[in-house]
Amino acid sequence: MSYITVREPSEFKRFRLQSGGMLTDEFGRDVTGVRVSLTDRCNFDCVYCHNEGLGDTRGPMDPQDDEMSTDDVVRFLEVAAEFDVDSVKFTGGEPMLRQDLEEIIERTPDQMEVSLTTNGTFLPGRAPDLVDAGLERVNVSQDALDADDFAAVTKSGAYEKVLEGVDAALEAGLDPVKLNMVVFEHTAGYVPKMVDHVAENEGLQLQLIEYMPELTGKPEWNIDIQRVHDWLAEQAVEIEHREMHDRKRYWIENDDGDGRGMVEIVDPVENPTFCANCHRVRVTHEGYLKGCLNRNDDLKSMGEMTKPEIRDAYRDVVENRVPYYGEYMVQNDAGEWEINDEYVGEYAEP
């Protein structure tokens, strides 16, 4: 087994906000990407998600009253491009419940790499059009390889449709297609089968996402993610360490020895290095900016979504971004993580 380190910028120092071009927060983190939620509606009701299965989910439709319009989304992206943002990930809920997704992608500034996180149920029939519009990468949520197990986690009978969606993405030329799997008590036993699946299927990669109990209110479902790291290390023929986020990629050989698949663990919980290298600003479906995925006390309205309002809000959010672990959440004398009152008082809006 070989072990390599990928060196990436990881300095964690305070800098002033740059006066032009790309914006940098006071912790030296350049904002190079945005993550835009297009809706909170979802046709799944996953047990680990506290707000899915919401709203009208009969199928793709025009933006709802509480969702940014097509023009609003595009206007925001045009402003982000002014600040040298070079990537956008569209998320939800289920972003493919937006009928205008292809138009949004097509109108996204050319400098931005476009990716999508989806449950995959609407990819059959739409994947080619999404690629034609400019979609470059896709993450498909898939927590199990058995229909009954899948239904138990997602409260959905759409297992076969998800498999069709993954195939449609591959056939449309999206490469790689990443499968997202949240690892917690319900799914931990499915990991070996999923690892074998990506090792046997060219074009697929696996992202094992650490369960975040503080966001779901079910701490008893948590597992020790280090056990998953240790097991993968035993199986891997090569381990790649990414200094940014302190993340590892494990390359697993298939049974025939003529191919291999990549498995990456996304483990942000109690990981100051992960937060120290976060380079994304988030946008909610209603049109609020936020500097941290884990927080809801740093929301910043973009008003009526005019470009001057968007610019002002974007600058403010970047200027006030605080790493979740290590700054917003700090360890007390007992080694437990607790909210740092300094940042709650200084940055949170009433």
Can you tell me the mean pLDDT for 38-50?
89
Does some domain include residue 61? Answer: yes
Binding site, annotated residues for GTP: 35, 89, 117, 178, 280-282
SS3 (DSSP) at 109 = coil
What are the tens digits of pLDDT across the range 81-105? 999 999 999 999 999 999 999 999 9
Residues of the chain with pLDDT > 70, as a percent, come to 89
Binding site, annotated residues for S-adenosyl-L-methionine: 48, 93, 141
Report the alpha-carbon distance of residue 150 to residue 46 in Å, rounded: 10
Does some domain include residue 159? Answer: yes
Does some domain include residue 27? Answer: no
**How much is the pLDDT for 10?**
35
Contact (CB, 8 A) for 188 and 147: no
For 176, residues 6+ apart whose C-beta sits below 8 A from its C-beta are 137, 203, 204, 205, 262
Cα angle at 36 between 115 and 286, to 5 degrees? 155
Report the alpha-carbon distance of residue 162 to residue 159 in Å, rounded: 5
Tell me which amino acid residue 319 is. Answer: E
Does some domain include residue 96? Answer: yes
What are the tens digits of pLDDT across the range 156-190? 999 999 999 999 999 999 989 999 999 999 999 99
**How much is the pLDDT for 296?**
86
**How much is the pLDDT for 103?**
98
Domain that includes residue 127, residue range? 33-322
Binding site, annotated residues for [4Fe-4S] cluster: 42, 46, 49, 275, 278, 292
Cis previous bond, 60, omega within 30: no
Binding site, annotated residues: 35, 42, 46, 48-49, 89, 93, 117, 141, 178, 275, 278, 280-282, 292
Does some domain include residue 334? Answer: no
Instruction: Say which DSSP state 41 is in.
Output: B
Report the alpha-carbon distance of residue 13 to residue 317 in Å, rounded: 18
**How much is the pLDDT for 73?**
98
* Paired sense of beta strands 288-290 and 300-301, if any: antiparallel
Can you tell me the mean pLDDT for 31-52?
89
C-alpha distance from residue 253 to each of 98, 176, 210 (Å):
38, 17, 23
1-10, 83-92, 212-221, 326-335 — which one is most confidently predicted on average? Answer: 83-92
**How much is the pLDDT for 5?**
46
Does some domain include residue 6? Answer: no
Report the alpha-carbon distance of residue 34 to residue 283 in Å, rounded: 7
Does some domain include residue 26? Answer: no
Query: If you average pLDDT over every residue of the chain, what do you get?
Result: 89
**How much is the pLDDT for 341?**
84
Query: How many structural domains compose the chain?
Result: 1
Residues of the chain with pLDDT > 90, as a percent, come to 73
What are the tens digits of pLDDT across the range 277-333? 999 999 999 999 999 988 888 999 999 999 999 999 999 999 999 999 999 989 898
Report the alpha-carbon distance of residue 133 to residue 285 in Å, rounded: 21
For 341, residues 6+ apart whose C-beta sits below 8 A from its C-beta are none
Does some domain include residue 332? Answer: no
Residues pairing with 3 in the sheet: 239
Contact (CB, 8 A) for 310 and 318: no
Q: Which of 37-51, 184-198, 247-261 has the lowest mean pLDDT?
A: 37-51
Q: In a 10 Å sphere around its CB, with 0-12 CB exposed, 13-18 middle and 19+ buried, how is residue 275 labelled?
A: buried
CATH number for position 244: 3.20.20.70
